[in-house]
Chains A and B, each alone.
Chain A
């Protein structure tokens, strides 16, 4: 039987703003552990986030460059979970009202043009990094990366092959570099992709069960992972096995993927509006200026909400 591979990508791009998303710490790569952080990004009690306006500008630019609709109202949500690299025990991200929606990127594979639709682009903060030391005495945490600004670009399941995935990633990288919102250095982790993949018999409309693969740090790794995982799905189905909906980790050295956790065990992230961050209102003027002015000379109005949705304008 012939199978069709169905792929959706979630690409995290680190923005090349000077400072982090919610504090004034530098976004410079490297540095001695825990030297690029402050009470805010290291989760000290009582510290509060203040959004870096450049991050919003950069996300708008990325949205405009990928044919997205820019949301007039966008807000930051908390994604709650425990892990030592997450200083506040929640990641500030966007669930309900992402900054950009419904865009698309055109690609070309073997002379054939194709449109890949984007579901959304949202803003979020990166987590810190765990350093597992060689002496077996435990792990250490470095919060230099905590609070680095990211955008997550989520496609619709429009990609049908590893080649198309490669063409999409290359095009996306070129766009983000051209508009100068990200340097897209994969070796420094500024571009990371997660692959959602399923297979179905050609002609079947219903999608197969999908798996999500994380930890793809290069285009090459993404391609190899797609090739491996699609074969694994097909072999499993052909031999009468079952594909479980689960998150898998790609091991690029061994060239295999393995299950991290199943969706049943998946954490409940308890998303809700971050009460420390007022919703953001983006007017046409802001979009226009971001679009036309390379230097980001934006005259902005960041609006704030009081305790509920009583909106009051504050001129920034």
Chain B
């Protein structure tokens, strides 16, 4: 097997046995990028020289015994909405196409401290708005399983890169499913942590009360290892929680005996692709056979998920994106008459249509006379959904269902119909609305050989339960071992 095809834990093993070194691994992955990037277009920026230089430094440190982390010497890449000092951070937008962040996001600093090697910045939907990565200003990332199909989104570059071996692991961000849906479409593992467990400092805000950064990896073991480096209270983000540090790797246990799993009927409805439904039902059988107790439950508030999400997330986004005004950084229109005109032209020329759509809708939901009807009402419904999910966790350890109602679709098939596109995220949005942790693992393939994702949601700070259940599922199935042929 080639180095770029291995997982973090496998590479770490080789590094410890001195059978390879960080430079060799980094060069191998860079070589893989050089060979596949012209087809896949996962990356917005590649920092080849910096990566090799850093790999040399890390290798030296490891040889002196200064770096013990599992992530030391492992090359990875991050979504382009996470700030990296001295490297372009564009949000895949014309608006920030020339923006170099002056500081590192906390997660970047954490990964650097663990000896991670950054290869570059990954493609995404502009400002994390979209479900196919077709909204990128720069390029369309292709799904490594079928290059005529989308990788999902908005973290499409992250998921495609991990699936194709052009990054050993990646960071994505998840506002309504932006990390889990592409992980599902690309047949890899993606975890959205509990809101408040991973710092958002340096994550360019889409919808602040929904956004979380999480890992995209090739298996659940790697997911736990990366999560270990990400979770923790950050004094620079007041929404992070002061939770006790735990080693998630301790929950890599092949046992789900007695685990109580609720399967909401609303997750398995008839709008589901039949093959997805079949694969998830089979996955449930696997878990049952291993001793989990699976029961059908009902979450009637699922009906309100989409309107609640759109109202609140777009409202927050409309405020967060106000700062892109052509004054301080980023794109500025060339010709303008006065200040007002400068704002209008800059924002008209700098933003793509999905971003504008959400700014307009979000602005409306917050405006005088509409606030009570839309924003405030949606906040109240958010509470109802939150209560309903948390009530379910009184009885169940986990909620389970598909990650996405469908598998990867072809380019251009949904981009002109925003509602169809939003519906892609209907099963992932609840975890963002409620702030709950959720993981996706591959659980099958459809007749087109496209991956299907199984989603598990747990209670607040219940990542350990997800890791245990997902690991057990993985140990008893073969889906995670399959790689796309590229």
Contacts and interface: CB of A to CB of B under 8 A. Distances in A.
A46 B203 CA distance: 5
Contacts of A207: none
Given A45-B101, A304-B238, A268 B367 contact: yes
A268 B368 contact: yes
Contact of A277 (B205, B236, B238, B386): B238
Contact of A270 (B328, B329, B366): B366
B204 interface: yes
B201 interface: yes
Contacts of B315: 272
A82 B322 CA distance: 7
Among A42, A49, A51, A272, max chain B CB count under 10 A is at A272
Given A50-B236, A268-B367, A87 B323 contact: yes
Interface in A262-280: 268, 270-272, 275-278
Chain A interface size range: 35 or more
Contact of A310 (B102, B203, B386): B386
Interface in B57-102: 81-83, 89, 91, 96, 99, 101-102
Contacts of B96: 45
Interface stretch (B9-17, B146-154, B375-383, B418-426): B375-383
A82 B339 CA distance: 10
B217 interface: no
Given A84-B327, A276-B238, A270 B435 contact: no
**Overall SS of chain A's interface:** loop
Interface string A29-60: 00000000001001111111111000000000
Chain B interface size range: 35 or more
A47 B83 CA distance: 9
A80 interface: yes
B224 interface: no
B251 interface: no
A308 B81 CA distance: 25
A46 B328 contact: no
A118 B477 CA distance: 68
A314 B242 contact: yes
B36 interface: no
A306 B196 contact: yes
Given A51-B238, A270-B366, A307-B209, A46 B322 contact: no
B444 to A, nearest CB: 32
B228 interface: no
A251 to B, nearest CB: 21
A141 interface: yes
A238 interface: no
A195 to B, nearest CB: 25
Interface string B318-339: 1100110101110000000001
A141 B329 CA distance: 13
Contacts of A168: none
Given A88-B322, A89-B322, A310-B386, A42 B105 contact: no
Among B236, B371, B379, max chain A CB count under 10 A is at B236
A272 B372 CA distance: 11
Contacts of B318: 80, 270
A284 interface: no
Contact of A307 (B328, B367, B434): B434
A42 B328 contact: yes
Interface of A: 39, 42-51, 78, 80, 82, 84, 87-90, 141, 268, 270-272, 275-278, 304, 306-310, 312, 314-315
23 contacts: A43-B323, A45-B96, A45-B204, A46-B202, A46-B204, A46-B205, A47-B201, A48-B237, A80-B366, A82-B343, A84-B339, A88-B322, A268-B368, A272-B366, A272-B375, A276-B205, A304-B239, A307-B210, A307-B433, A307-B435, A308-B435, A309-B383, A314-B241
Given A275-B239, A314-B241, 5 more contacts: A45-B83, A46-B89, A270-B318, A276-B205, A308-B382
